[in-house]
């Protein structure tokens, strides 16, 4: 149901994924439906990030976490704070249908794909563009307190972080603003101006014959106009007022033979990974659980990372990183610890190369290991900087793999 936009104040769902494309917002297999059933498309929203291949919720994904799992309603989760370049990829309108069907009314980002932005407006979802600094401030405030509310004032075109009091102005097309504030789609807008349109049409002077009785008068007008132009010094071309109908069918021209275009499955179907890789590992959880489990959690995460980098990069660079469990329980002991240095150096260098190959703007490499983890061990806490950069680099790579393969 269409609702008028005025002031929307709500808690938010933080989806901190840069270049979140329309295939992530709604997988391609849902595009066959054209009913625009809100429940259907709402369930499909972010489906392959919310659920695994067996249909079970992915616990690490933000929308399945207890703080953000509640479905949107008045004042609750009506706003999404998304990453940069939200809605990139294809122009499918179904992505906007899914966001609206889930119950979201506002999406905030530092940039949107143009077509997706227009699709959101047509589906009564307001896209709000803010600065990267304000976008990051919102993410930080929500991470510190999931109950943080954001106020979107449509009449005054401002968005306010109520946790800090900071506000920014956002732009919106005046026509779309008027439609949102009155709950009009394009057809509603035309119907609201029906009287004005009909009044304007009555002021127009007919120039084309409307029936058979007017045809002779139109022919006389053509002859008069032609004689006038023949007597004029400057000849002018006369556009015909009508074209005489004929019962004879035009001659058919032989159709040009065009070779059929074969579309392979690889070209026509978007990439769908067999298993989505985690994209939201954080330093706080990594550090705390490693301390509680006496280091076991850290070993498990590094073993997972060694498998993930093989999934992401092996088919491109032809290499294979040794699983960290082998290094920790066997090679590290046999080599007196040297294997640890070699493994982390190669892992960091490989991750950095893959970031560059995928053109992901995040700096990471073997130098980070030697600077922060090895030399930084003299300070004590600096190895945590390396852990943070390692987890962040893998989040970027895994997110890119989930989208593109």
Q: Is the pLDDT of residue 218 over 90?
A: no
Domain 7-191 has CATH 3.20.19.10: yes
HSE (side-chain half, CA atoms, 13 Å) at 323: 8
For residue 36, name the pLDDT band (cuts at 50, 70, 90): confident
For residue 223, name the pLDDT band (cuts at 50, 70, 90): low
Q: Which of 125, 126, 129 is nearest to 110 (CA)?
A: 129
Q: Is the pLDDT of residue 77 over 90?
A: yes
- Residue with structure tokens 């290499």? 319
HSE (side-chain half, CA atoms, 13 Å) at 53: 6
Could you tell me the pTM of the whole model? 0.53
For residue 340, name the pLDDT band (cuts at 50, 70, 90): confident
Lowest mean pLDDT among 66-70, 145-149, 203-207: 203-207
- The pLDDT value given to residue 245: 44
* Sequence-separated (6 or more) residues with CB below 8 Å from residue 76: 10, 11, 70
Q: Is the pLDDT of residue 250 over 70?
A: no
> Can you give the residue ranges of every domain in the chain?
7-191, 283-404
Q: Which of 397, 404, 90 is nearest to 273 (CA)?
A: 404
């Amino acid at each position: 149901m269409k609702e008028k936009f005025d002031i929307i104040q709500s808690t938010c769902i933080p989806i901190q994924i840069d270049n979140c494309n329309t295939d992530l917002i709604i997988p391609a297999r849902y595009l066959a439906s054209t009913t625009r059933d809100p429940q259907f498309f709402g369930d499909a929203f972010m489906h392959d990030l919310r659920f695994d291949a067996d249909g079970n919720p992915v616990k690490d994904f933000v929308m399945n976490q207890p703080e953000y799992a509640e479905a949107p309603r008045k004042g609750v989760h009506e706003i999404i704070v998304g990453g940069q370049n939200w809605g990139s990829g294809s122009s499918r309108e179904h992505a906007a249908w899914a966001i609206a069907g889930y119950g979201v009314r506002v999406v905030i980002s530092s940039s949107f794909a143009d077509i997706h932005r227009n699709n959101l407006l047509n589906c009564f979802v307001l896209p709000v563009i803010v600065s990267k600094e304000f976008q990051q401030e919102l993410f930080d405030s929500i991470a510190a307190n999931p109950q943080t509310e954001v106020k979107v004032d449509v009449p005054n075109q401002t968005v306010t972080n109520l946790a800090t009091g900071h506000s920014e102005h956002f732009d919106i097309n005046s026509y779309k603003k008027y439609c949102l504030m009155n709950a009009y789609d394009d057809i509603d807008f035309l119907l609201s101006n029906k009287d004005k349109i009909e009044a304007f049409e009555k002021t127009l002077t007919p120039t084309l014959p409307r029936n058979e009785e007017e045809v002779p008068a139109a022919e006389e007008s053509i002859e008069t106009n032609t004689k006038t132009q023949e007597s004029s010094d400057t000849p002018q071309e006369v556009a015909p007022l009508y074209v005489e109908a004929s019962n004879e069918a035009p001659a058919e021209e032989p159709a040009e033979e065009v070779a059929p275009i074969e579309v392979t499955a690889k070209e026509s179907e978007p990439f769908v990974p067999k298993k989505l890789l985690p994209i939201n590992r954080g330093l706080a959880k990594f550090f705390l659980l490693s301390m509680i489990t006496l280091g076991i959690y850290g070993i498990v995460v590094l073993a997972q990372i060694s498998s993930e980098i093989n999934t992401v990069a092996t088919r491109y660079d032809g290499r294979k990183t040794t699983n960290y469990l082998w290094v920790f329980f066997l090679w590290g002991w046999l080599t007196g610890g040297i294997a640890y240095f070699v493994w982390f150096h190669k892992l960091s260098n490989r991750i950095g190369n893959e970031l560059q190959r995928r053109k992901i703007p995040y700096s990471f490499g073997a130098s980070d290991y030697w600077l922060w983890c090895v030399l930084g061990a003299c300070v004590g806490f600096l190895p945590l900087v390396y852990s943070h950069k390692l987890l962040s680099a893998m989040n970027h790579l895994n997110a890119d793999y989930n989208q593109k393969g």
